[in-house]
Amino acid sequence: MDKQASSTGPKSRARGLERAIAIVDYLQSGKEAKRPIDIALGMQAPKSSVYELVGILISVGVLERVDNEGRVYLGRKLHYWGLSYLENFDLTRLAQPLLEDITARTRETSQLCMLDGDKYTVVLMNEGNRQFRISSDMGEKLPIPWTASGRLLLGHYTDDEIIDFIPDDDFIMPDGTRLDKHEYIASVRSAHQDSFFSFDSLADNYTHCFAAPVHDESGICISTLCLIAPKQDAETHYRLYRDVLTESSIQLTSSLQAGSC
């Protein structure tokens, strides 16, 4: 009785590639292995399509079977692709040793952050003592105004462009209050002026976040170096932390420019 009749007009088929990418994203966001049927139901995608696509993705190693109940999750090929990405990406390749250096000199967690669309993300992180620790925060998207880096990454935009760029809801802070846009823009301007910004973390109430800009050839802030420190440490070593970070960001900026020739 249904068919495509009625007003729903075009019965569109999803493109295999896009659906496949959605499957990988869906598995990643769930952070656990799922069976094809669960994927299909969870994504509201046709079962037969999901079965076929999952089969293909498994055959090339993008997905992997993880148990005998048919559950699948991201595959090893993605690990290798991810490594290749890092290896080739100037910014991360150059930033990694700097992060290590920053952490060595401050004993605090350091990060390389960037925009991803209209959101903020952590691209690289180096935690205190633990080497090679993989934090679940990496790659997660946060509203730009929630972050110290978010004062630097939009510094080259006009007021209007900034307002346009950031989704309105992103001015709602983690605690539910709404950040005044003019107040936010004022902080962007002063951060841009200082090539530096720091404030108490919004994510918790015992850390302080430092951020310094990394510029591309044209002077646009393409990423930031950040330091996350307990408030107490941040206060005691404020000058040191700020200097270390600023110095590193300048160094990264210039090695980027050198490398691009």
Q: Is 258 in the site for its own copies (CB under 8 A)?
A: no
Question: Of its own copies, DNA, none, which one sits near residue 206, judging by CB under 5 to 8 A according to partner kind?
Answer: none
Question: Of its own copies, DNA, none, which one sits near residue 12, judging by CB under 5 to 8 A according to partner kind?
Answer: DNA
Question: Of DNA, its own copies, none, which one sits near residue 10, judging by CB under 5 to 8 A according to partner kind?
Answer: DNA
In the complex, minimum distance from the CB of residue 13 to DNA, in angstroms, rounded to a whole number: 4
Q: Which of residues 27-56 bind its own copies (CB under 8 A)?
A: 28, 31-33, 53, 56
Residues near 185 by beta carbon (within 8 Å), at least 6 away in sequence: 159, 162, 163
Nearer to its own copies among residue 56 and residue 203 (C-beta)? 56
Burial class (CB in 10 A: 0-12, 13-18, 19+), 228: buried
Separation CA 209–CA 67 (nearest Å): 41
Q: DSSP string of 40-96?
A: HHHHT--HHHHHHHHHHHHHTTSEEE-STT--EEE-HHHHHHHHHHHHH-HHHHHHH
DSSP 58: H
Separation CA 72–CA 58 (nearest Å): 8
The span of 25-33, 172-180, 188-196, 225-233 binding its own copies (CB under 8 A) equals 25-33
Q: Which of residues 71-130 bind its own copies (CB under 8 A)?
A: 73-76, 78-89, 92, 96, 100, 116, 123, 126
Question: Of DNA, its own copies, none, which one sits near residue 143, judging by CB under 5 to 8 A according to partner kind?
Answer: none
Separation CA 227–CA 197 (nearest Å): 11
In the complex, minimum distance from the CB of residue 229 to its own copies, in angstroms, rounded to a whole number: 20
In the complex, minimum distance from the CB of residue 75 to DNA, in angstroms, rounded to a whole number: 17
In the complex, minimum distance from the CB of residue 196 to DNA, in angstroms, rounded to a whole number: 37
On whether the CB atoms of residues 173 and 181 are closer than 8 A, the answer is: no
Q: Which of residues 128-157 bind its own copies (CB under 8 A)?
A: 131-132, 134, 136, 138-139
On whether the CB atoms of residues 50 and 40 are closer than 8 A, the answer is: yes
Q: DSSP string of 169-187?
A: GGGB-TTS-B--HHHHHHH
Residue among 151, 175, 86 at smallest CA distance from 125: 86
Nearer to DNA among residue 16 and residue 259 (C-beta)? 16
Count of residues engaged in binding its own copies, rule: CB under 8 A = 46
Residue among 35, 72, 226, 42 at smallest CA distance from 135: 226
In the complex, minimum distance from the CB of residue 226 to its own copies, in angstroms, rounded to a whole number: 17
In the complex, minimum distance from the CB of residue 82 to its own copies, in angstroms, rounded to a whole number: 2
Separation CA 2–CA 43 (nearest Å): 21
Separation CA 105–CA 182 (nearest Å): 36
Nearer to its own copies among residue 40 and residue 191 (C-beta)? 40
Which residues contact its own copies (rule: CB under 8 A)? 15-18, 20-21, 24, 28, 31-33, 53, 56-57, 60-62, 66, 73-76, 78-89, 92, 96, 100, 116, 123, 126, 131-132, 134, 136, 138-139
